[in-house]
A and B are shown apart, each in its own frame.
Chain A
Amino acid sequence: MAQVQLSGIAKTFGKVTALDAMDLTIDDGELVCLLGPSGSGKSTLLRIIGGFEMPSEGTIAIDGVDVTDLPPERRPTAMVFQSHALWSHMTVFGNIAFGLKLRHLPKAEIRERVEKVLDLVGLTGYGARLPSQLSGGQQQRVALARSLVVEPKILLLDEPFASLDQHLRERLREEVRDIQQRLGITAVFVTHGQDEALAISDRIVVLADGRMQQVGRPGEIYAEPKTAFVAGFIGAMNMLEGTLADGEITASGLKLPAEGSGPAKLAIRPEDIELAEPAEGRTVTVRRMIDFGAHVVIDGKLADGTHLRIQTDKAIRVSQGDQIGIRVESWTVFTEGDEPRRYRSDTVRSFRGARYA
Chain B
Amino acid sequence: MTDIARLPPAGALSDLRTRVRRREPVDWTGIAFLTGLAIVILLPLIVTAVWAFAEVWRFPAIVPQRMGLGYWQETLTRNDVWQALWLSLSITTTVTVISAAICFPAAYAFARLDFPGRNVLFLAFLSVQAFPKFGLIVATATIFLTLHLVGTFWGVVLIQLVGTLLYMIWIPVSAFQGVDRRLEEAARDVGAGPMRVFWSITLPQALPTLAAALLITFVSTFYETDAAWLIGLPNVRTMPMVMISFINNALEVQYGAVLFVFLWVPSFVLMLAARRVMGADAFAKGLGG
Asked whether any CB of chain A lies closer than 8 Å to the CB of B9, the reply is no
Contact B186 A85 (CB under 8 A): yes
Chain B proximity mask over A66-108: 1 for CB below 8 Å, otherwise 0: 0000011100011101010111110000000011001100000
Asked whether any CB of chain B lies closer than 8 Å to the CB of A147, the reply is yes
Q: Would you list which residues of chain A between 145 and 160 have a CB under 8 Å from chain B?
A: 146-147, 150
The answer for the CA separation of A51 and B185 in the assembled complex, in Å, is: 10
Residue of A nearest to B204 (CB): A89
Residues of B within 8 A of A89 (CB): 204-205
Contact B187 A98 (CB under 8 A): yes
Residues of B within 8 A of A85 (CB): 180, 182-183, 185-186
A: contact size bracket: 20 to 34
Given the contacts A85-B182, A85-B183, A147 and B205 also touching, CB distance less than 8 Å: no
Q: Would you list which residues of chain A between 45 and 79 have a CB under 8 Å from chain B?
A: 50-52, 71-73, 77-79
B: contact size bracket: 10 to 19
Contact B187 A81 (CB under 8 A): no
Q: Would you list which residues of chain B between 177 and 203 have a CB under 8 Å from chain A?
A: 180, 182-183, 185-193, 196, 200-201
The answer for the CA separation of A312 and B192 in the assembled complex, in Å, is: 55
Chain A proximity mask over B209-234: 1 for CB below 8 Å, otherwise 0: 00000000000000000000000000
The answer for the CA separation of A88 and B204 in the assembled complex, in Å, is: 9
Residue of B nearest to A78 (CB): B189
Residue of B nearest to A81 (CB): B182
Given the contacts A89-B204, A98-B200, A81 and B185 also touching, CB distance less than 8 Å: yes
Given the contacts A98-B200, A102-B196, A87 and B191 also touching, CB distance less than 8 Å: no
The answer for the CA separation of A72 and B191 in the assembled complex, in Å, is: 7
The answer for the CA separation of A81 and B190 in the assembled complex, in Å, is: 13
Chain B proximity mask over A106-144: 1 for CB below 8 Å, otherwise 0: 000000000000000000000000000000000000010
* A150 CB contact (under 8 Å) in B185, B190, B201: B190
Contact A147 B189 (CB under 8 A): yes
Contact B183 A147 (CB under 8 A): no
Given the contacts A98-B200, A102-B196, A146 and B182 also touching, CB distance less than 8 Å: no
Given the contacts A83-B180, A102-B192, A103-B191, A146 and B186 also touching, CB distance less than 8 Å: yes
The answer for the CA separation of A133 and B172 in the assembled complex, in Å, is: 27
Contact A73 B189 (CB under 8 A): yes
Given the contacts A73-B193, A81-B182, A102-B196, A87 and B201 also touching, CB distance less than 8 Å: yes
Interchain nearest-CB distance for B177 vs A (Å): 16
Contact B185 A72 (CB under 8 A): yes
Q: Would you list which residues of chain B between 157 and 189 have a CB under 8 Å from chain A?
A: 180, 182-183, 185-189
Contact A71 B190 (CB under 8 A): no
The answer for the CA separation of A51 and B192 in the assembled complex, in Å, is: 13
The answer for the CA separation of A330 and B189 in the assembled complex, in Å, is: 48
The answer for the CA separation of A88 and B279 in the assembled complex, in Å, is: 14
The answer for the CA separation of A143 and B183 in the assembled complex, in Å, is: 11
Residue of B nearest to A71 (CB): B188
Residues of A within 8 A of B205 (CB): 87-89
Contact B192 A98 (CB under 8 A): yes
Contact A73 B191 (CB under 8 A): yes
Residues of A within 8 A of B201 (CB): 87
The answer for the CA separation of A98 and B192 in the assembled complex, in Å, is: 9
The answer for the CA separation of A317 and B239 in the assembled complex, in Å, is: 89
Contact B180 A72 (CB under 8 A): no
Contact A78 B182 (CB under 8 A): no
Residues of B within 8 A of A88 (CB): 205
Residues of A within 8 A of B185 (CB): 52, 72, 79, 81, 85
Contact B183 A98 (CB under 8 A): no
The answer for the CA separation of A98 and B205 in the assembled complex, in Å, is: 15
Residues of A within 8 A of B187 (CB): 87, 98
Chain A proximity mask over B27-47: 1 for CB below 8 Å, otherwise 0: 000000000000000000000
Q: Would you list which residues of chain B between 50 and 64 have a CB under 8 Å from chain A?
A: none
Contact A150 B180 (CB under 8 A): no
Interchain nearest-CB distance for B187 vs A (Å): 7
Residues of B within 8 A of A51 (CB): 188
* A79 CB contact (under 8 Å) in B183, B189, B193, B200: B189
Contact A98 B180 (CB under 8 A): no
Given the contacts A52-B185, A87-B183, A147 and B190 also touching, CB distance less than 8 Å: yes
Contact A99 B190 (CB under 8 A): yes
The answer for the CA separation of A73 and B192 in the assembled complex, in Å, is: 6
Contact B204 A73 (CB under 8 A): no
The answer for the CA separation of A234 and B55 in the assembled complex, in Å, is: 87
Contact B186 A79 (CB under 8 A): yes
Contact B191 A150 (CB under 8 A): yes
Residue of A nearest to B185 (CB): A52
Interchain nearest-CB distance for B192 vs A (Å): 6
Residue of B nearest to A156 (CB): B189
Given the contacts A73-B189, A147-B189, A83 and B182 also touching, CB distance less than 8 Å: yes
Residues of A within 8 A of B196 (CB): 102
Residues of A within 8 A of B193 (CB): 73
Residues of A within 8 A of B182 (CB): 81, 83, 85
Interchain nearest-CB distance for B193 vs A (Å): 6
Residues of B within 8 A of A87 (CB): 183, 186-187, 201, 204-205
Given the contacts A85-B180, A87-B183, A72 and B204 also touching, CB distance less than 8 Å: no
Residues of A within 8 A of B (CB): 50-52, 71-73, 77-79, 81, 83, 85-89, 98-99, 102-103, 143, 146-147, 150
**Can you report 7 residue pairs joining A to B where beta carbons are below 8 Å apart?**
A52-B188, A77-B189, A79-B186, A85-B185, A87-B183, A87-B201, A102-B192
Contacts A51-B188, A79-B185, A102-B190 aside, 16 further interface pairs with beta carbons under 8 A come to: A50-B189, A52-B185, A71-B188, A73-B188, A73-B191, A73-B193, A79-B189, A83-B180, A83-B182, A85-B185, A87-B186, A87-B201, A98-B192, A99-B190, A99-B192, A147-B190
